[in-house]
Amino acid sequence: MESPPLVTSDGELIVPIRADVDILLARQKARALVMPLRFSTSELTVIATAISEVARNIVSYAGQGEVELAIVQQGARRGLRVIARDHGPGIADIERAMQDGFSTSRSLGLGLPGSKRLMDEFQIASQIGEGTVVTMIKWEH
């Protein structure tokens, strides 16, 4: 097994998420952070879209939380790691949430499985009453 990715940027960049304007901010910060990396325009769009979705989940379900951005390195490759954290109600049935078409409220609920498709690595942990943490990585190709 490979060793876990190391953070190589100057620490992690934390973007507090409280309202929809912060979703935009998180995307913009991410774009700026990955400039030295070799991402195609297509990949940049994909990253921004995935961030938009998970950040939006925070606003819609938890009310507030944060998106943490970091450049990571594993062996020879570099990537962007996005961690979306909140202390919201949590997701009762993660498996169902990861199926396409799942919806808890007025939202389409497409964010999670879609984000997983967009990114290279995707992990989600959630506890009822505690909150949710979504970790995603997009590697340079």
Partner 1 sequence: MRASIMKQSKTLIASVQGSMTDADLAQLRDELVIGVRQHRSTGVIVDVTMLDVMDSFAARTLRGIAQMVKLLGAQSIIVGIQPDVAFSMVQLGLRLEGTRTALDLEDGLELLRLLENGEPAVGD
Residues at the interface with partner 1 (CB under 8 A): 20-21, 23-24, 27-28, 41-42, 44-46, 48-49, 52-53, 56, 100, 107-108, 110-111, 113-115, 117-118
Q: Which residues pair with 124 in a beta bridge?
A: 134
> Within a 10 A sphere around the Cβ of 137, how many other Cβ atoms?
18
Please give the torsion angle defined by the CA atoms of residues 134, 117, 95 and 85, in that order, rounded to the nearest 10 degrees: 10
Closer to partner 1 by Cβ: residue 8 or 28: 28
13-32 burial, b at 16+ Cβ within 10 Å, e below that, comes to bebebeeeebbebbbebbbe
Closer to partner 1 by Cβ: residue 49 or 135: 49
- Least Å distance, CB 111 to partner 1, is 6
Closer to partner 1 by Cβ: residue 63 or 113: 113
Q: What are phi and psi of 10, to 5 degrees?
A: -70, 75
Closer to partner 1 by Cβ: residue 3 or 41: 41
- Least Å distance, CB 51 to partner 1, is 9
